[in-house]
Amino acid sequence: MKITAYLSLGSNLGDREANLRAAIENLSRVGAVGVVSSFYETEPMEIKEQNWFLNCVVELRTEMSAAELLEGLLQIEREMGRERLRPKGPRNIDIDILLFGNQIVDEKGLKVPHPMMHERRFVLAPLAEIAPDAIHPVFKRSAAELLSVLPAGDVVRKL
């Protein structure tokens, strides 16, 4: 049975757009890519002394479990040269599972929905663009609703 997942992709090293496009292409190994949001340029949040990010959200239809999908995504990141040198630090590619159908997953190393997605404009803006009615299974609110109640703050520019 196919599940619709929403993934957040980000890059702030090298050719950010090429990195996102390569990651999107590689996602075909773990499912069928559906709608892809616009690209958004985003100010770094926690560690400010780094390049701005380019972010997008991708709809993916998959037959994998959430854990299998995560392992596939980590493999794509490794093959693209992702190095985890510093938490929240610079990276050529980052792929996170935001939503996995309406499932709530709480396992070591895997939390779905993404535990911070409801606080991140760089996630909610592209998600609301492609799936405004996607429901957060914990808060029971749509992506568009969650985006509308975010306080002003972090800079997110649609390209």
Q: Find the catalytic residue in 16, 29, 82, 120.
A: 82
- Is 15 one of the catalytic residues? no
- Position 86 scores a pLDDT of 65
- Is 21 one of the catalytic residues? no
Cα distance between residue 101 and residue 129, in whole Å: 18
- Is 91 one of the catalytic residues? yes
- Position 153 scores a pLDDT of 75
Question: Could you state, in chain order, the average pLDDT of each consecutive group of 10 residues for the chain (159 residues)?
Answer: 95 96 98 98 79 96 98 95 72 95 96 95 97 98 96 83
Domains of the chain: residue spans and CATH: 3-158 (3.30.70.560)
Selection from 56, 55, 53 nearest residue 35 by Cα: 56
Q: Find the catalytic residue in 29, 78, 86, 94.
A: 94
- Determine the residue type at 36: V
Q: Which helix (H) or strand (E) holds 43?
A: none
End-to-end Cα separation, the chain, in angstroms: 35
State pTM to two decimals: 0.94
- Is 154 one of the catalytic residues? no
141 bridge partner residues: 136
